[in-house]
Structure formats: C-alpha cells, structure tokens
Amino acid sequence: MSDTDSVDFFTDRELLANPYDYLAALRDECPLRRENYHDVVMITGYDEGVAIYNDTERFSSCISVTGPFPGFPVPFEGDDISGLIAAHRDEIPFFDQLPTFDPPVHTAHRALLSRMITPKRLKENEEFIWRLADRQYDTALSDGRCEFIGEFANPFAMLVIADLLGVPEADHAEFREALLTEVGTIGSSEGETMQHSPLEYLYGKFSEYISDRRANPRDDVLTGVASAAFPDGSTPEVMDAVRVASNLFAAGQETTVRLLSTAVMMIAEDVDLQAKLRANSDLIPRLVEEALRYESPVRGDFRLAKVPVTVGGVNLPAGTTVMLVNAAINRDPRKFTNPEVFDIDRGNARQHVAFGRGPHSCPGAPLARAEAKISLQRLLERTSNIWVDEDKHGPHGNHRYSYLPTFILRGLTRLHICFE
C-alpha cells in the first residue's frame, strides 16, 4: 500500500486544513488515480479534467453533487449504462436540481435559467450589490473588529441572489431568518452533503411567487422570472421554474462566501499584498482569479461514465465514478507554474476550473466575480489597515483556521479580522 492508499479523502479530517499534499501525491502517481475507499477515480490533471467536463456525451452529471454517496440504486451491468441512469435517476439525491441534469433536459433548463437571469437583470443587480456592500459594512465595520463570514459575507451573498430574482425587499428579513443557519451558512457545513431543508423553504416561497405572478402579472422582476419560457416556446411547469430559481441559492451562496473569505484572509495575512491592492484597485480582479485557483471553493464535481472511455491513456469502464477535483486540477504544475505559490501576477490564473467547464460551467461566475470585486474594493476603501484577529486565530506566524468539514466545499468556517 502506498501512502496515498491509507488516506480517505472523503472522511479524513486531517485533510480539511491541507488537502493539497495528498492531492499532489495522487497526481504524481497518476492524474487519473482510483482512491482506495469509495471506488472513485480522482481526476487531478488539468487536461484530463477539462476533457471530462466537456464530455457530456459519455459522462453523466446525475451524481454531480453526491458522488459515491449514497451509491447508485442498482448494480451496473453491461457496456452502456445510459438506460440504467434514465430508469433510476430520480432515486438519486438532488435529481431535481440543474447540476444533476443531462442533455437534452439540461440544455432546456439551462436556457430557461438564462431567460430568467438576463444581462439587463445582472446589470441592475450590480447596482444593488454596491449599495448592499455599503449597507452591510456600515454594521460590520462599526467596531474595529468583526467576524467577516457571519457579519458580512453570508447575508451579503444571500441577499444578492434574493435581489437578482426580484424577491421583494419586504421579504429579505424573512429569507435571512429562514436560510442563514446558526453558523450563518445556507444549508449545512456539518454534513457531508448539502442538506435539503433550506431548499424546501425556497420551493415554498418561489411556488407562491411564481403562481401569484402568473395569475397577476406586475411590472416587476419576479413576473419576468415567472414568465420565462423554454427555448421551444413552451411554458415550464411552476415547479420547473421554482427549482431553477431556488437552485441559485444552493449553488451561489456558500461558494461565494468561501471565495470572499479566502480573498479577505489573503489580504489580512499579507501586508505587502494589501499595500499593493490599496495602491492599485485595478489589481483586485487578479486577486479574485488567483484566490479561485488557489483555494477553489468547490473542491470537485462528480461524473459517471456511461460507456467505456479512455482519458489520458487510462481506460475507465462504464459505471466509473470520477471526481473532477478542482482543488487539484487548479494546482496541476503542467498548467500552473509553481502552483503552491499564491501569485496575483500569474498570467494564466483565469484559466482555472473553479467554475467548472463545458455545458454545466457556472452560470453565476460573472455574479460571483462582481460580488468579490465590489466587496473587496469597498472594504479596502473603507479601511486603512486590515489584519487577522490574533485573539481568535492565534499569534502572528501561527494563525489557526478551521475549514468546512465537507468534501464538497473548501473554505473557512470563521474569519475574525481587525481593522482601522
């Protein structure tokens, strides 16, 4: 047994703080390496990862969120499991969510999403993001220190999506109450997979909104969301529209919060970096891309091989579960020179796969980038110095952080900062 064989990526708590050495060791053995515990082929190479992301013909997304858990409902047989997937898809968790759809259903629902969230809407939303950032900072920055995730990032990321979908401001407080749990995060960071209950709340609210706007159209954003049609012109069932809208919260909240907190941690940790950004705010988008590459908020996405397929010279039988390990793909030294170094001057950082690739690639990427840029810019403008709170994270040179206990997401649970 090699060292990598003795590590269970999915449950080993020691990997939470630093999964990168293990992932690099795995890649050194092979960029498509079967791990030892859950029968998952870990894709840690850049070219191999991008090839699979783009291959919706031979790889299904039906297990995109859950991977090997709880396992496919029936054993795999034969050289083409497409029929088995079609027959049992609705027994797999999150089967009703966009990330798990395959073409042609995926294609139609993805088009529905882009009709709900138009470029015009994104632009209006950006105006709201500037206002919201200032409003949140008025409170979070009032005291010389704050816990950035609970006091800023969580409510900020949630309310951005609420506004994007036109949730009336009168309902924002109720959304905060219902969706931000005790830790201040949507869904759970404690479980190994995302929980469904916040989605049930969202299904209830969006069923009301969409039914109401279809019956009584108004001149508002929700009416646009409610009346968006499939590309063939047909009107979606209320529940189809509800699922697509609700999925934005599940997909866009936790992820963006992790990006924001990583970026602020980097700024608070590195005096020179902070000075450089304060001197030239045009560098903020570079910081954001490098943060996405260096600490990819989604550690990885799963795919299921429908037929036998060869990737990077390795044969994968039909029924193989692969994990596209973004956290490793984005540190492949064949693509990114000195990948373990955080370097905002890196020329190709934006070629990371933190937002996935291909037909499922993140439709929220422009929004997440705008949220990060605006919140960092305003944070730097409204402070003259930011540093890590040593009462909470330990002494300088030995700061301790705790990371989400999940194999899906990568990021801090708390970030205590001081500022002046």
Contact residues for ligand HEM (CB under 6 A)? 61, 64, 98-99, 110, 161, 247-248, 251-252, 255-256, 259, 297-298, 301, 354-356, 360-364, 367-368
Q: Which is nearer to ligand HEM, 224 or 364 (CB)?
A: 364
DSSP state of 117: S
| CB of 365 vs ligand HEM, minimal distance in Å | 7
Asked if 312 and 322 touch (Cβ cutoff 8 Å), the reply is no
Q: Which is nearer to ligand HEM, 4 or 100 (CB)?
A: 100
| CB of 420 vs ligand HEM, minimal distance in Å | 28
Burial bucket for residue 263 (CB in 10 Å: 0-12, 13-18, 19+): buried
| φ, ψ (nearest 5 deg) of residue 218 | -125, 175
Q: How far apart are CA 175 and CA 164, in angstroms?
A: 14
Q: How far apart are CA 33 and CA 322, in angstroms?
A: 9
| CB of 114 vs ligand HEM, minimal distance in Å | 10
Asked if 271 and 396 touch (Cβ cutoff 8 Å), the reply is no
| CB of 6 vs ligand HEM, minimal distance in Å | 29
Contacts of 177 (CB under 8 A, 6+ apart): none
Q: How far apart are CA 129 and CA 152, in angstroms?
A: 13
Q: Which is nearer to ligand HEM, 33 or 369 (CB)?
A: 369
Q: In this structure, what is the dihedral angle of CA atoms 375, 381, 382, 386, given to the nearest 10 degrees?
A: 80
Q: Which is nearer to ligand HEM, 4 or 66 (CB)?
A: 66
| CB of 367 vs ligand HEM, minimal distance in Å | 4
Q: How far apart are CA 150 and CA 142, in angstroms?
A: 15
Q: Which long-range contacts (CB under 8 A, 24 or more apart) does 104-107 make?
A: 106/56, 106/61, 106/359, 106/360, 107/231, 107/359
| CB of 46 vs ligand HEM, minimal distance in Å | 15
Backbone conformation region of residue 397, classed left if phi is above 0, alpha if psi is from -120 to 50, else beta: left
Q: Which is nearer to ligand HEM, 50 or 84 (CB)?
A: 50
CA angle, 56 as apex, 20 and 83 as ends, to 5°? 115
| CB of 394 vs ligand HEM, minimal distance in Å | 27
Q: Which is nearer to ligand HEM, 155 or 364 (CB)?
A: 364
| CB of 104 vs ligand HEM, minimal distance in Å | 13
Q: Which is nearer to ligand HEM, 69 or 387 (CB)?
A: 69
Residue (of 295, 273, 290) closest to 349 by Cα position = 290
| CB of 293 vs ligand HEM, minimal distance in Å | 11
Q: Which is nearer to ligand HEM, 256 or 375 (CB)?
A: 256
Q: How far apart are CA 251 and CA 362, in angstroms?
A: 9
Q: Which is nearer to ligand HEM, 32 or 367 (CB)?
A: 367
